Structure 1
Amino acid sequence: MIKVLIVEDDPMVSMINERFLKKVEGFELCGTVNSLEKAKESVKICKPDLILLDIFFPQGKGTDLLRWIRTENIKCDVILITADRNTDTVEEAFRYGVVDYLVKPFVFKRFKESLIQFKNRKCSFEDNDSIEQETIDKYILKDKNIELENIDDISDIKGFNQRTYEKVLDGIHDMGDNNFTAQQIAENIGVSRITARRYLDYLEKEKKLEVEMEYGKVGRPKNKYKLRTEE
Protein backbone atom coordinates (compact mmCIF):
# COMPACT_ATOMS: atom_id res chain seq x y z
CA MET A 1 0.00 0.00 0.00
CA ILE A 2 1.09 3.56 -0.73
CA LYS A 3 1.18 5.66 2.45
CA VAL A 4 -0.26 9.17 2.10
CA LEU A 5 0.06 12.21 4.35
CA ILE A 6 -2.44 15.06 3.93
CA VAL A 7 -1.13 18.53 4.79
CA GLU A 8 -4.07 20.95 4.75
CA ASP A 9 -5.21 23.62 7.25
CA ASP A 10 -8.83 23.76 6.05
CA PRO A 11 -10.80 21.03 7.90
CA MET A 12 -13.42 20.81 5.16
CA VAL A 13 -10.83 20.32 2.41
CA SER A 14 -8.99 17.77 4.56
CA MET A 15 -12.21 15.80 4.95
CA ILE A 16 -12.82 15.86 1.19
CA ASN A 17 -9.27 14.72 0.47
CA GLU A 18 -9.59 11.90 3.00
CA ARG A 19 -12.91 10.79 1.53
CA PHE A 20 -11.56 10.85 -2.02
CA LEU A 21 -8.43 8.97 -0.98
CA LYS A 22 -10.47 6.12 0.51
CA LYS A 23 -12.13 5.60 -2.87
CA VAL A 24 -8.84 4.96 -4.69
CA GLU A 25 -7.48 1.42 -4.29
CA GLY A 26 -3.89 0.93 -3.25
CA PHE A 27 -3.56 3.97 -0.95
CA GLU A 28 -3.79 4.32 2.82
CA LEU A 29 -3.88 7.47 4.93
CA CYS A 30 -1.03 7.63 7.43
CA GLY A 31 -1.95 11.03 8.84
CA THR A 32 -3.57 14.43 8.40
CA VAL A 33 -1.93 17.60 9.76
CA ASN A 34 -2.83 21.27 9.56
CA SER A 35 0.57 22.99 9.76
CA LEU A 36 3.98 22.83 8.13
CA GLU A 37 5.79 22.10 11.40
CA LYS A 38 3.48 19.19 12.18
CA ALA A 39 4.01 18.01 8.61
CA LYS A 40 7.78 17.83 9.16
CA GLU A 41 7.27 15.78 12.31
CA SER A 42 4.86 13.43 10.53
CA VAL A 43 7.18 12.98 7.56
CA LYS A 44 9.94 11.81 9.91
CA ILE A 45 7.64 9.51 11.87
CA CYS A 46 5.34 7.85 9.31
CA LYS A 47 7.64 8.19 6.27
CA PRO A 48 4.87 8.67 3.68
CA ASP A 49 5.31 7.72 0.04
CA LEU A 50 3.14 10.63 -1.07
CA ILE A 51 2.04 13.98 0.39
CA LEU A 52 -1.11 15.81 -0.66
CA LEU A 53 -0.03 19.37 0.07
CA ASP A 54 -1.75 22.74 0.15
CA ILE A 55 0.10 26.01 -0.56
CA PHE A 56 -1.40 28.55 1.83
CA PHE A 57 -0.67 28.25 5.57
CA PRO A 58 -0.66 30.96 8.27
CA GLN A 59 3.02 30.37 9.00
CA GLY A 60 4.34 29.84 5.47
CA LYS A 61 3.76 28.19 2.09
CA GLY A 62 3.55 24.58 1.08
CA THR A 63 6.49 25.11 -1.24
CA ASP A 64 8.58 25.75 1.88
CA LEU A 65 7.84 22.18 2.99
CA LEU A 66 8.56 20.92 -0.51
CA ARG A 67 11.92 22.70 -0.46
CA TRP A 68 12.68 21.22 2.97
CA ILE A 69 11.89 17.69 1.75
CA ARG A 70 14.32 18.09 -1.14
CA THR A 71 17.02 19.70 1.03
CA GLU A 72 16.75 16.84 3.56
CA ASN A 73 16.88 14.32 0.69
CA ILE A 74 13.69 12.65 1.90
CA LYS A 75 12.32 10.03 -0.48
CA CYS A 76 8.76 11.24 -0.74
CA ASP A 77 6.66 12.50 -3.64
CA VAL A 78 4.25 15.43 -3.52
CA ILE A 79 1.00 16.36 -5.24
CA LEU A 80 -0.01 19.96 -4.66
CA ILE A 81 -3.71 20.61 -4.09
CA THR A 82 -4.31 24.33 -3.90
CA ALA A 83 -6.28 27.37 -5.02
CA ASP A 84 -3.01 29.12 -5.91
CA ARG A 85 -2.97 29.64 -9.69
CA ASN A 86 0.04 31.95 -9.69
CA THR A 87 2.39 31.02 -12.50
CA ASP A 88 5.48 31.54 -10.34
CA THR A 89 4.11 29.12 -7.74
CA VAL A 90 3.30 26.47 -10.32
CA GLU A 91 6.74 26.88 -11.87
CA GLU A 92 8.46 26.64 -8.48
CA ALA A 93 6.46 23.56 -7.59
CA PHE A 94 7.54 21.68 -10.69
CA ARG A 95 11.10 22.91 -10.24
CA TYR A 96 11.11 21.13 -6.88
CA GLY A 97 9.70 17.98 -8.40
CA VAL A 98 5.96 17.75 -7.66
CA VAL A 99 4.34 14.93 -9.58
CA ASP A 100 1.10 16.84 -10.14
CA TYR A 101 -0.65 20.14 -9.40
CA LEU A 102 -4.40 20.12 -8.74
CA VAL A 103 -6.25 23.44 -8.66
CA LYS A 104 -9.18 23.79 -6.26
CA PRO A 105 -11.99 23.15 -6.75
CA PHE A 106 -11.31 19.87 -8.52
CA VAL A 107 -13.46 16.85 -9.31
CA PHE A 108 -12.89 13.33 -8.02
CA LYS A 109 -12.08 12.04 -11.53
CA ARG A 110 -9.07 14.35 -11.81
CA PHE A 111 -7.97 13.46 -8.27
CA LYS A 112 -8.19 9.74 -9.04
CA GLU A 113 -6.31 10.11 -12.33
CA SER A 114 -3.48 11.85 -10.51
CA LEU A 115 -3.18 9.11 -7.89
CA ILE A 116 -3.49 6.24 -10.37
CA GLN A 117 -0.81 7.78 -12.58
CA PHE A 118 1.47 8.06 -9.56
CA LYS A 119 0.73 4.51 -8.40
CA ASN A 120 1.35 2.98 -11.83
CA ARG A 121 4.62 4.85 -12.23
CA LYS A 122 5.84 3.91 -8.75
CA CYS A 123 4.93 0.24 -9.15
CA SER A 124 6.47 0.09 -12.61
CA PHE A 125 9.75 1.50 -11.35
CA GLU A 126 9.79 -0.87 -8.37
CA ASP A 127 9.19 -3.89 -10.60
CA ASN A 128 12.12 -3.12 -12.91
CA ASP A 129 15.85 -3.16 -12.25
CA SER A 130 16.38 -0.82 -15.18
CA ILE A 131 14.01 1.46 -17.08
CA GLU A 132 13.57 1.62 -20.84
CA GLN A 133 12.73 4.84 -22.70
CA GLU A 134 9.29 3.48 -23.58
CA THR A 135 8.46 3.07 -19.88
CA ILE A 136 9.60 6.59 -19.06
CA ASP A 137 7.60 7.99 -21.99
CA LYS A 138 4.49 6.21 -20.73
CA TYR A 139 4.49 8.31 -17.56
CA ILE A 140 6.10 11.53 -18.76
CA LEU A 141 4.49 11.99 -22.17
CA LYS A 142 0.91 11.37 -21.09
CA ASP A 143 -0.61 12.43 -24.39
CA LYS A 144 1.82 10.55 -26.60
CA ASN A 145 0.04 8.09 -28.88
CA ILE A 146 2.33 5.43 -30.27
CA GLU A 147 1.01 3.87 -33.45
CA LEU A 148 1.68 0.16 -33.12
CA GLU A 149 -0.57 -1.12 -35.86
CA ASN A 150 1.87 -0.14 -38.64
CA ILE A 151 4.74 -2.24 -37.25
CA ASP A 152 5.02 -5.54 -39.13
CA ASP A 153 8.09 -6.84 -37.31
CA ILE A 154 8.82 -5.98 -33.67
CA SER A 155 12.54 -6.08 -34.53
CA ASP A 156 11.96 -2.66 -36.10
CA ILE A 157 11.70 -1.33 -32.54
CA LYS A 158 15.02 -0.85 -30.79
CA GLY A 159 15.65 -3.45 -28.09
CA PHE A 160 13.05 -5.96 -29.29
CA ASN A 161 13.42 -9.24 -31.09
CA GLN A 162 10.79 -10.98 -33.23
CA ARG A 163 11.76 -14.48 -32.06
CA THR A 164 11.48 -13.50 -28.39
CA TYR A 165 8.17 -11.80 -29.12
CA GLU A 166 6.83 -15.02 -30.63
CA LYS A 167 8.12 -17.06 -27.67
CA VAL A 168 6.31 -14.74 -25.29
CA LEU A 169 3.10 -15.17 -27.30
CA ASP A 170 3.51 -18.96 -27.11
CA GLY A 171 4.05 -18.72 -23.36
CA ILE A 172 0.91 -16.64 -23.00
CA HIS A 173 -1.19 -19.13 -24.94
CA ASP A 174 0.16 -21.92 -22.71
CA MET A 175 -1.49 -20.11 -19.82
CA GLY A 176 -4.92 -20.53 -21.42
CA ASP A 177 -7.54 -18.31 -19.83
CA ASN A 178 -5.58 -17.96 -16.57
CA ASN A 179 -4.12 -14.72 -15.30
CA PHE A 180 -0.32 -14.71 -15.18
CA THR A 181 2.68 -12.67 -14.10
CA ALA A 182 5.85 -11.69 -15.93
CA GLN A 183 7.74 -14.14 -13.69
CA GLN A 184 5.56 -17.05 -14.82
CA ILE A 185 6.10 -16.21 -18.49
CA ALA A 186 9.83 -15.79 -17.89
CA GLU A 187 10.12 -19.24 -16.30
CA ASN A 188 7.94 -20.78 -19.01
CA ILE A 189 10.03 -19.59 -21.98
CA GLY A 190 13.47 -19.22 -20.36
CA VAL A 191 14.06 -15.46 -20.32
CA SER A 192 14.56 -12.94 -17.50
CA ARG A 193 11.57 -11.45 -15.71
CA ILE A 194 12.59 -7.98 -16.91
CA THR A 195 12.62 -9.13 -20.54
CA ALA A 196 9.24 -10.82 -20.16
CA ARG A 197 7.83 -7.68 -18.54
CA ARG A 198 8.96 -5.47 -21.44
CA TYR A 199 7.25 -7.67 -24.01
CA LEU A 200 4.10 -8.01 -21.92
CA ASP A 201 3.90 -4.22 -21.57
CA TYR A 202 4.29 -3.94 -25.34
CA LEU A 203 1.48 -6.43 -25.87
CA GLU A 204 -0.68 -4.38 -23.53
CA LYS A 205 -0.01 -1.34 -25.74
CA GLU A 206 -1.04 -3.46 -28.71
CA LYS A 207 -4.29 -4.06 -26.78
CA LYS A 208 -3.69 -7.81 -26.85
CA LEU A 209 -3.44 -8.03 -23.06
CA GLU A 210 -5.17 -6.56 -20.05
CA VAL A 211 -3.28 -5.83 -16.86
CA GLU A 212 -4.38 -5.22 -13.30
CA MET A 213 -2.58 -4.75 -9.99
CA GLU A 214 -2.89 -7.54 -7.42
CA TYR A 215 -2.31 -6.47 -3.82
CA GLY A 216 -1.26 -9.03 -1.25
CA LYS A 217 -1.10 -8.67 2.51
CA VAL A 218 2.66 -8.12 2.38
CA GLY A 219 5.14 -7.02 -0.26
CA ARG A 220 4.65 -4.86 -3.28
CA PRO A 221 1.75 -5.38 -5.70
CA LYS A 222 2.13 -7.59 -8.76
CA ASN A 223 1.01 -6.97 -12.31
CA LYS A 224 -1.35 -9.74 -13.40
CA TYR A 225 -1.92 -10.09 -17.13
CA LYS A 226 -4.61 -11.84 -19.14
CA LEU A 227 -5.57 -12.08 -22.77
CA ARG A 228 -7.94 -9.32 -23.83
CA THR A 229 -11.29 -10.69 -24.95
CA GLU A 230 -12.79 -9.37 -28.15
CA GLU A 231 -15.84 -7.18 -27.57
Structure 2
Amino acid sequence: MADDRELRVLIVEDDPLTAEAHADFVRRVPGFSVAAVCLSGGEALTRFDELAAAGTPVDIVLLDMNLTDSHGLEVAKKLGARNHDADIIAITAVRHLQVIRSAISTGITQYLIKPFAFAAFREKLENQREFRQGLTGGGALATQASVDNALSALRSVSATPLPKGLIAETLETVSAVVRDSETPVSATEVGTRLELSRVTVRRYLEHLVATKQAAKQPRHGTPGRPEYEYRWV
Protein backbone atom coordinates (compact mmCIF):
# COMPACT_ATOMS: atom_id res chain seq x y z
CA MET A 1 0.00 0.00 0.00
CA ALA A 2 1.27 3.49 -0.84
CA ASP A 3 2.36 5.81 1.94
CA ASP A 4 -0.34 8.51 2.01
CA ARG A 5 0.77 10.31 5.14
CA GLU A 6 1.75 13.98 5.12
CA LEU A 7 5.37 14.45 4.00
CA ARG A 8 7.64 16.60 6.19
CA VAL A 9 9.80 19.13 4.35
CA LEU A 10 13.03 20.74 5.61
CA ILE A 11 13.81 24.06 3.92
CA VAL A 12 17.46 25.09 3.70
CA GLU A 13 17.85 28.62 2.33
CA ASP A 14 20.10 31.41 3.62
CA ASP A 15 17.83 34.30 2.60
CA PRO A 16 15.09 34.64 5.25
CA LEU A 17 12.48 36.12 2.91
CA THR A 18 13.06 33.45 0.26
CA ALA A 19 13.02 30.74 2.91
CA GLU A 20 9.65 31.93 4.19
CA ALA A 21 8.30 32.16 0.65
CA HIS A 22 9.29 28.52 0.09
CA ALA A 23 7.67 27.57 3.39
CA ASP A 24 4.45 29.30 2.27
CA PHE A 25 4.60 27.37 -1.00
CA VAL A 26 4.97 24.07 0.87
CA ARG A 27 1.96 24.84 3.06
CA ARG A 28 -0.14 25.48 -0.05
CA VAL A 29 0.48 22.00 -1.47
CA PRO A 30 -1.87 19.39 0.06
CA GLY A 31 -0.08 16.49 1.71
CA PHE A 32 3.05 18.41 2.72
CA SER A 33 4.08 20.24 5.88
CA VAL A 34 7.08 22.32 6.93
CA ALA A 35 9.27 20.39 9.35
CA ALA A 36 11.71 23.29 9.84
CA VAL A 37 13.31 26.26 8.11
CA CYS A 38 17.10 26.53 8.34
CA LEU A 39 19.24 29.45 7.21
CA SER A 40 22.59 27.61 7.04
CA GLY A 41 24.04 24.21 6.25
CA GLY A 42 25.19 23.61 9.81
CA GLU A 43 21.78 24.44 11.22
CA ALA A 44 20.16 22.14 8.65
CA LEU A 45 22.29 19.14 9.63
CA THR A 46 21.64 19.72 13.33
CA ARG A 47 17.90 20.12 12.84
CA PHE A 48 17.77 17.10 10.56
CA ASP A 49 19.34 14.94 13.28
CA GLU A 50 17.09 16.39 15.99
CA LEU A 51 13.95 15.62 14.02
CA ALA A 52 15.11 12.07 13.34
CA ALA A 53 15.88 11.53 17.03
CA ALA A 54 12.43 12.87 17.97
CA GLY A 55 10.72 10.29 15.75
CA THR A 56 9.60 12.87 13.17
CA PRO A 57 12.21 12.40 10.44
CA VAL A 58 12.40 14.63 7.38
CA ASP A 59 11.04 13.22 4.12
CA ILE A 60 12.15 15.91 1.67
CA VAL A 61 14.93 18.50 1.87
CA LEU A 62 14.67 21.66 -0.25
CA LEU A 63 18.32 22.66 -0.52
CA ASP A 64 19.88 25.85 -1.82
CA MET A 65 23.37 25.49 -3.29
CA ASN A 66 24.85 28.81 -2.14
CA LEU A 67 24.72 28.88 1.65
CA THR A 68 26.54 31.29 3.95
CA ASP A 69 28.57 28.60 5.72
CA SER A 70 28.90 25.84 3.11
CA HIS A 71 28.00 24.67 -0.36
CA GLY A 72 24.76 22.79 -0.86
CA LEU A 73 26.65 19.85 -2.35
CA GLU A 74 28.60 19.43 0.89
CA VAL A 75 25.39 19.45 2.88
CA ALA A 76 23.90 16.87 0.51
CA LYS A 77 26.95 14.61 0.94
CA LYS A 78 26.73 14.83 4.73
CA LEU A 79 23.02 14.05 4.64
CA GLY A 80 23.72 11.08 2.39
CA ALA A 81 26.24 9.72 4.89
CA ARG A 82 23.49 9.56 7.54
CA ASN A 83 21.76 6.61 5.85
CA HIS A 84 18.45 8.43 5.81
CA ASP A 85 15.31 8.00 3.74
CA ALA A 86 14.95 11.66 2.82
CA ASP A 87 14.92 12.92 -0.76
CA ILE A 88 16.76 16.11 -1.70
CA ILE A 89 15.51 18.69 -4.20
CA ALA A 90 17.96 21.45 -5.13
CA ILE A 91 16.36 24.90 -5.32
CA THR A 92 18.94 27.37 -6.53
CA ALA A 93 19.94 30.03 -9.04
CA VAL A 94 23.11 28.09 -9.86
CA ARG A 95 23.03 26.95 -13.49
CA HIS A 96 26.58 25.60 -13.93
CA LEU A 97 26.47 22.19 -15.58
CA GLN A 98 29.25 20.84 -13.36
CA VAL A 99 27.24 21.70 -10.25
CA ILE A 100 24.16 20.04 -11.73
CA ARG A 101 26.14 16.90 -12.61
CA SER A 102 27.63 16.82 -9.11
CA ALA A 103 24.19 17.30 -7.59
CA ILE A 104 22.85 14.29 -9.46
CA SER A 105 25.83 12.13 -8.50
CA THR A 106 25.38 13.21 -4.86
CA GLY A 107 21.85 11.84 -4.83
CA ILE A 108 19.83 15.00 -5.42
CA THR A 109 16.77 13.79 -7.29
CA GLN A 110 15.38 17.05 -8.76
CA TYR A 111 16.83 20.45 -9.62
CA LEU A 112 14.64 23.58 -9.64
CA ILE A 113 16.24 26.76 -10.97
CA LYS A 114 15.26 30.15 -9.52
CA PRO A 115 13.19 32.10 -10.29
CA PHE A 116 10.12 29.92 -10.71
CA ALA A 117 6.36 30.08 -10.35
CA PHE A 118 4.37 28.24 -7.72
CA ALA A 119 3.13 25.74 -10.33
CA ALA A 120 6.70 24.57 -11.00
CA PHE A 121 7.40 24.29 -7.27
CA ARG A 122 4.22 22.33 -6.67
CA GLU A 123 5.03 20.00 -9.54
CA LYS A 124 8.44 19.15 -8.06
CA LEU A 125 6.91 18.28 -4.69
CA GLU A 126 4.14 16.20 -6.22
CA ASN A 127 6.63 14.42 -8.50
CA GLN A 128 8.70 13.55 -5.45
CA ARG A 129 5.66 12.15 -3.67
CA GLU A 130 4.83 9.97 -6.68
CA PHE A 131 8.44 8.80 -6.79
CA ARG A 132 8.39 7.83 -3.11
CA GLN A 133 5.02 6.11 -3.41
CA GLY A 134 6.22 4.20 -6.47
CA LEU A 135 8.95 2.59 -4.37
CA THR A 136 6.77 1.91 -1.31
CA GLY A 137 5.13 -1.39 -0.50
CA GLY A 138 5.33 -4.75 -2.18
CA GLY A 139 8.06 -6.09 0.09
CA ALA A 140 11.79 -5.47 0.01
CA LEU A 141 12.22 -6.14 -3.71
CA ALA A 142 11.10 -3.87 -6.53
CA THR A 143 9.67 -4.92 -9.86
CA GLN A 144 10.85 -3.45 -13.14
CA ALA A 145 7.46 -1.77 -13.52
CA SER A 146 7.63 -0.12 -10.09
CA VAL A 147 11.12 1.22 -10.81
CA ASP A 148 10.07 2.54 -14.24
CA ASN A 149 6.96 4.19 -12.82
CA ALA A 150 8.86 5.81 -9.97
CA LEU A 151 11.56 7.22 -12.25
CA SER A 152 8.98 8.43 -14.77
CA ALA A 153 7.38 10.54 -12.01
CA LEU A 154 10.60 12.54 -11.70
CA ARG A 155 10.79 13.08 -15.44
CA SER A 156 7.32 14.57 -15.84
CA VAL A 157 7.14 18.15 -17.09
CA SER A 158 4.49 20.79 -16.78
CA ALA A 159 1.70 20.43 -19.31
CA THR A 160 0.98 24.15 -19.22
CA PRO A 161 4.10 26.21 -20.00
CA LEU A 162 3.76 29.96 -19.68
CA PRO A 163 2.52 31.74 -22.80
CA LYS A 164 5.09 33.74 -24.73
CA GLY A 165 5.84 37.06 -23.06
CA LEU A 166 4.85 36.06 -19.53
CA ILE A 167 7.54 35.91 -16.85
CA ALA A 168 7.35 33.41 -14.01
CA GLU A 169 8.44 35.92 -11.35
CA THR A 170 5.80 38.45 -12.36
CA LEU A 171 3.13 35.76 -12.56
CA GLU A 172 3.84 34.70 -8.99
CA THR A 173 3.80 38.31 -7.80
CA VAL A 174 0.44 38.98 -9.46
CA SER A 175 -0.87 35.67 -8.13
CA ALA A 176 0.15 36.61 -4.60
CA VAL A 177 -1.81 39.88 -4.74
CA VAL A 178 -4.97 38.12 -5.93
CA ARG A 179 -4.53 35.23 -3.52
CA ASP A 180 -3.92 37.39 -0.46
CA SER A 181 -6.67 39.94 -1.17
CA GLU A 182 -9.79 39.59 0.99
CA THR A 183 -11.95 40.96 -1.84
CA PRO A 184 -11.79 40.59 -5.64
CA VAL A 185 -9.32 42.96 -7.31
CA SER A 186 -9.21 44.62 -10.73
CA ALA A 187 -6.26 44.82 -13.12
CA THR A 188 -5.97 48.51 -12.29
CA GLU A 189 -5.77 47.83 -8.55
CA VAL A 190 -3.18 45.10 -8.96
CA GLY A 191 -1.16 47.27 -11.34
CA THR A 192 -1.17 50.18 -8.89
CA ARG A 193 0.00 47.94 -6.08
CA LEU A 194 2.82 46.42 -8.14
CA GLU A 195 3.65 49.54 -10.20
CA LEU A 196 2.82 47.72 -13.43
CA SER A 197 0.62 48.80 -16.31
CA ARG A 198 -3.00 47.71 -16.36
CA VAL A 199 -2.49 46.04 -19.74
CA THR A 200 0.46 43.99 -18.48
CA VAL A 201 -1.33 42.90 -15.32
CA ARG A 202 -4.46 41.95 -17.27
CA ARG A 203 -2.46 39.45 -19.36
CA TYR A 204 -1.32 37.69 -16.20
CA LEU A 205 -4.79 37.77 -14.68
CA GLU A 206 -6.29 36.28 -17.83
CA HIS A 207 -3.69 33.51 -17.70
CA LEU A 208 -4.72 32.74 -14.12
CA VAL A 209 -8.33 32.54 -15.29
CA ALA A 210 -7.40 30.30 -18.23
CA THR A 211 -5.53 27.92 -15.90
CA LYS A 212 -8.46 27.96 -13.43
CA GLN A 213 -6.43 29.51 -10.62
CA ALA A 214 -8.60 32.62 -10.56
CA ALA A 215 -12.20 33.51 -11.43
CA LYS A 216 -13.30 36.59 -13.35
CA GLN A 217 -16.53 38.56 -13.10
CA PRO A 218 -17.80 42.02 -14.09
CA ARG A 219 -17.57 44.67 -11.43
CA HIS A 220 -20.97 46.32 -11.11
CA GLY A 221 -21.54 49.96 -10.33
CA THR A 222 -18.43 51.33 -12.02
CA PRO A 223 -18.93 54.28 -14.44
CA GLY A 224 -17.74 54.09 -18.03
CA ARG A 225 -16.66 50.87 -19.68
CA PRO A 226 -17.19 47.61 -17.74
CA GLU A 227 -14.35 46.64 -15.44
CA TYR A 228 -13.59 43.08 -14.43
CA GLU A 229 -12.46 41.86 -11.03
CA TYR A 230 -10.57 38.70 -10.18
CA ARG A 231 -10.58 36.44 -7.15
CA TRP A 232 -8.43 33.46 -6.22
CA VAL A 233 -10.15 30.08 -6.60
Alignment of 1:1-231 (within 5 A): 1-46=6-51, 47-129=57-139, 130-141=141-152
Give distance in 2, aligned partners of 1:43 and 1:123.
22
* Identity %, equivalent residues: 27
Q: Whole-Å Cα distance in 1 between the matches of residues 42 and 95 of structure 2?
A: 24
Give the drift of 1:124. 2.9
After superposition, the C-alpha distances for 1:73-124 in whole angstroms (9 at most, x for unaligned) are 2322100000000111100000011110000001111111111111122123
**In structure 2, what residue type is equivalent to 1:82?**
T
* Secondary structure at the counterpart of residue 111 of structure 1: helix
Q: What secondary structure sits across from 1:92 in the alignment? A: helix
Q: Which ranges of structure 2 fall in alignment gaps of 5 or more residues?
A: 1-5, 52-56, 157-233
Q: Which residue of 1 aligns with 2:201?
A: none
Aligned to 2:166: none
Alpha-carbon distance in 2 for matches of 1:3, 1:144? 22
Moved more, 134-143 or 50-59: 134-143
Tell me how far apart the structure 2 counterparts of residues 18 and 143 of structure 1 sit (CA, whole Å): 21
Q: Give 3-state SS (helix, strand or coil) of 1:126's partner.
A: coil
Q: TM-score when scaled to structure 2? A: 0.58
